[in-house]
Every structure is written in structure tokens, then in C-alpha cells.
Structure 1
Amino acid sequence: MAFENLSQQLESAVGPELRDQIMDGSDKARKADKFRKARWMKGAIERMDALVDEPTRIRILEQRGHTCGWRGRAEKIAKMRTKCSTLELFVEGLKPILAGNGVELDGRTIITSYPRCYCGAVSATKEPISMTYCHCGKGYWMAMFEHVFGKPVKVDILQTVITGGDSCRFAIHVPEEEF
């Protein structure tokens, strides 16, 4: 799924020629162990960094994150959201749903953190990978909270494990109209 999704996002954004350059070697990587897959993905992201402008790269990876498996959690969060009268209660309600993730509130910003990269396409990496890849995780959180709030949500990447951080941390900015 990871390879097909990236290939589709690339073709849509930059066309088949650039997609083929970036996806070079993916046929072998699909059948490889998790370490070789992660190494291939590192190379694909490096090729993307060299061939595609930054706003387009970010859009491609954010869209990829929008297709990741967030919907089940988002439904639980949306249901819980209807029972919360304050942002503080909402954040407390997030903690059991996002079990395994740190969840804290900083003003109107929800900070999520987790000790490792959960993405199966790169989590086995032994070398740092470009921050470009982490926009996929950003897209995951955007999609989840846009579903919950029914409007666009700004998310910032604070740090990530695959770029050398000690945890993955994302800042989810709660829309002003909420709570």
C-alpha cells in the first residue's frame, strides 16, 4: 500500500516521468525486508527532494497521510468530542483513545508525542530520513482532526524520530471556533 499510494500521489502531482524517476527500484523494494524497504524509501525521498519543489513535496506527503488508517480513531474522537464542553476536557478524553501517545495542551494547541515512528514504510530505518517524509504523519493528524472538527486544521511538525529526534511530536492547532 505504501508504494502504490506514493506512486499515485506522485503521478497526480508531478506526472508519470518524474514519478518513474522517484519510484525507481520500487518493484524490488516491495518484496524486500523492512530494512531494505526503509532504505529504498529514504532514497525515494532524497530523489523527491532533488526533483520536486518543497510546496509540492509537502502536498504529496500530506495527501499520503490523509489516506492512512486514521478514520477509526477519528470516529471515536468525534463521538467523544460531542460530550466535551471545554478544550481541557476534550484533551483528557483524547488520552485513552490515543493510548501510547503523549497528549498535552499548550494554550489552544494539542501536542501529541510518541517514542518511535509508527510508519511501517520507514520505521526500520537505521539512518535519518529527510523531514519531507514526516509530512505524511502531519497529513495523518490533519485528516483526523479535520474530520473531528469539520474544518481545516493546522498541524506543525515539532520533531521526529526518523530525522534524529528522540520522539515524534506534532502540534495540532485547534480552530478558534471550537470550545
Structure 2
Amino acid sequence: MKNFSMPEQVSPTLEIDELMRLKHSLEKNVSREVAESIIKEIPLSINSTPDIRAEWVEKLSAILENRFDKKTVKNIRQECYCNENGRLEDTANNLKQLYLSLDKDLHRFVNALNENGAGWFIKDNQLYTKMFTCECPMLEKAKNSNSLTWCHCTAGYNKKLFEIVFEKPVYVEIVQSIRQGFDFCLLRITFQ
């Protein structure tokens, strides 16, 4: 997949963590019975190969898309974000310190990040962020897909991140993704 790079650290419990997040999210958004049924239907073995993980992602995405409406699919996947062994909080706190040091001025914050090549911008009071690489170890060998189902976890991750940074609720939407064949992922953050 174009613009894919493995994260610096991949958890040795990657598959178990992935299944537990999925189960928890299915229980929260649908039911315990459905969660158990789907987990049994698409097992994921520990220490699976990148090809097996990519195939599992495709099967799971198809199951979710065929059984639930788009809103439910988004909610399920947004609850499946990982925190990369605490990296989410570390990143959020570093960004928050920068934001606070700039007197909570969103324009100055974006400009400061863009000095390091972030490519972020503000349009119609919404923040747009770019991600130039996909570091999801589940997608290492995945093919491009028009579906955003798998990528909604990135929206959940960024929702958590930006709510820490800005100390208020945000809505995050994926506008486009590397998985769709674009050169970068583009997310729109709306302040609530």
C-alpha cells in the first residue's frame, strides 16, 4: 500500500488487543451477543502474518458494512482506536502544551505545526489535519479500498487526541484516506 510504514513499536499482543477493542466496541454499540458472534465468526490468531491481518480487516469490514447502518459502523470502528502504548496521551499532551504556549490561538497553533511540515489548515472554522503515512500494522499488506470502515478508528483516535488538546468536545470525520489510494489521509475536526 502506498504511503504505508510500520509503526516504531508494534505490540506483541497486537491481535489480542485488536480483538478486545472490537469486542468492547460491539458490546457498547450493539450487544454482547452480537460481539461474541462476530468474534467467533472471524477469529484472528496471535502472531498472524501481515497478509492474514489484511485479510481479516477485509472480512471484518465486509461484515460490519453488511450488518449495520453507516452510523453504527462508524461508531463501532471509532471505539476501536489504539493508544499505541501510551503514545496517544503523550502526543496529545505535547500538542496541548504547544497550544497553551500560543495562548490557545488555533491559527498560531496550526502555523507552528506547519513549520514542521504538518500541512494542516483551517477552513470555515474547522481544522483539517493531514497524515502522510499510514502506520496501522493491521494494514501493512492491505490493498487499496474505497471503504473507510477500517479507517474510522483513526477518527476515534483523533477525537480523543484533540479533546485532550482543546479541552472540549470535537467531531472528527475522515475526508479521505491513504487506503483509498490518496497520498495522505485528511481529517476534518469540528468543534462542538
Give TM-score scaled by structure 2 length: 0.77
Structure 2 counterpart of 1:144, from 139, 151, 161:
161
Q: Does 1:111 align with 2:125?
A: no
Give the Cα separation in 2 of the matches to 1:95 and 1:22.
42
1:62 corresponds, among 73, 78, 83, to 78
Instruction: State the aligned residue count.
Output: 171
Shift of 1:95: 4.1
Matches within 5 A, 1:15-30: 15-23=31-39, 24-28=41-45, 30=46
Deviations 1:109-135 (A, max 9, x none): 222212332222224302426212221
Cα distance change on mapping 1:84 and 1:155 into 2, 3 Å: same
Is the 1:6–1:64 Cα contact (8 Å) retained in structure 2? yes
The answer as to whether partners of 1:77 and 1:94 remain within 8 angstroms in 2 is no
Residues 63, 87 of structure 1: alpha-carbon distance in 2 compared, 3 angstrom cutoff? same
Residues 102, 113 of structure 1: 8 Å contact kept: yes
Identity of aligned residues (%): 25
Give secondary structure in 2 for the equivalent of 1:131. Answer: coil
Alpha-carbon displacement from aligned partner over 1:68-93 (angstroms, at most 9, x marks no partner): 34211110111111111332211123
Could you say what secondary structure the match of 1:172 adopts?
A: strand
User: What's the secondary structure of 2:52's corresponding residue?
Assistant: helix
Counterpart-to-counterpart distance in 2, 1:100 and 1:63 = 29
- In the alignment, the residues of structure 2 paired with residue 36 and residue 151 of structure 1 have an alpha-carbon distance, to the nearest angstrom, of 39
The answer to whether structure 1 residue 121 and structure 2 residue 138 are counterparts is yes
Shift in Å, 1:155: 1.8
Q: Distance in 2 between matches of 1:174 and 1:125?
A: 32
Alignment equivalent of 2:113, drawn from 94, 99, 103: 94
Q: Greater RCO between the two (CA within 8 Å, min separation 6)?
A: 2
Cα distance between partner residues in 1 of 2:188 and 2:172: 5
Q: Residue 27 and residue 174 in structure 1: after superposition, are their counterparts in 2 closer, same or farther (change >3 A)? A: closer
> What runs of 5+ residues in structure 1 fail to find an aligned partner?
none
Give the Cα separation in 1 of the matches to 2:59 and 2:98.
41
Q: What code does the residue aligned with 1:68 have?
A: N
RMSD, matched Cα: 2.3
Aligned twin of 2:98: 80
